[in-house]
Amino acid sequence: MKKILSFLMILEFLQVNAQLPSSCNVPDALKKYYDYDVAEMALSWLYSIKSPDTIFIDIPDWCKDTVWSGLAAIYNRNDLPAVDSIFNKFCFHDIEHLVCRQITIYVDTSYSWTSNWRNLQTSSGIPGLDSLLSKYGFTITAFDEERQIAFFQQPKLSMS
């Protein structure tokens, strides 16, 4: 939490002290390395404003676009030494903050499709469920037979 607050304070400082206009166009390099950060900042913002959009699985584009624009405006200010420190020297990131990286699902093993999960196969054969797990990169990591619980996890992120 401290990292994201520090990052947001730096962003606010740079926005208040920026005397020259900056482009809000998001360069590919920024997209490549800060996609998860933007998602986490957008999600944090949605919760802080108590937005009804927090019920959705996908973070609304309007929210991510707003964060991207602010981040890009700072990134594109090449004349400020702090920008180089944020993005190049220290490479500030706030991963593993709010975005869900693990899912636990209680399973009724009386259904035949659950045998896949019991055998640690991520695919259930249910298109909507399989699509959701695939879209976010979840794979099954364990199945507790006694409690009938399937455990799913996303891969660790590499920010290099």
Query: By percentage, how much of the chain surpasses pLDDT 90?
Result: 11
Going by pLDDT thresholds of 50, 70 and 90, the confidence category of residue 120 is: very high
Last residue of a domain, one of 59, 89, 119: 89
119 or 58, higher pLDDT: 119
Count structural domains, the chain: 2
> Are residues 32 and 71 both part of a single domain?
yes
Question: Which residues is 147 bridged to in the sheet?
Answer: none
pLDDT score of 4: 53
> In whole angstroms, how far apart are CA 133 and each of 106, 126, 128?
15, 11, 9
pLDDT exceeds cutoff 70 at 138: yes
Q: Are 43 and 10 in contact, with CB atoms under 8 Å apart?
A: no
Domain with 61, as residue range(s), is 2-89
> Are residues 24 and 63 both part of a single domain?
yes
Spell 87-100 as b/e; 16+ CB within 10 A means b. Answer: beeeebbbeebebe
The 10s digit of each residue's pLDDT in 9-36 is: 555 555 554 445 556 777 777 777 777 7
pTM: 0.48
pLDDT score of 68: 85
Last residue of a domain, one of 89, 117, 143: 89
| Strand-strand pairing, 102-106 and 139-144 | unpaired
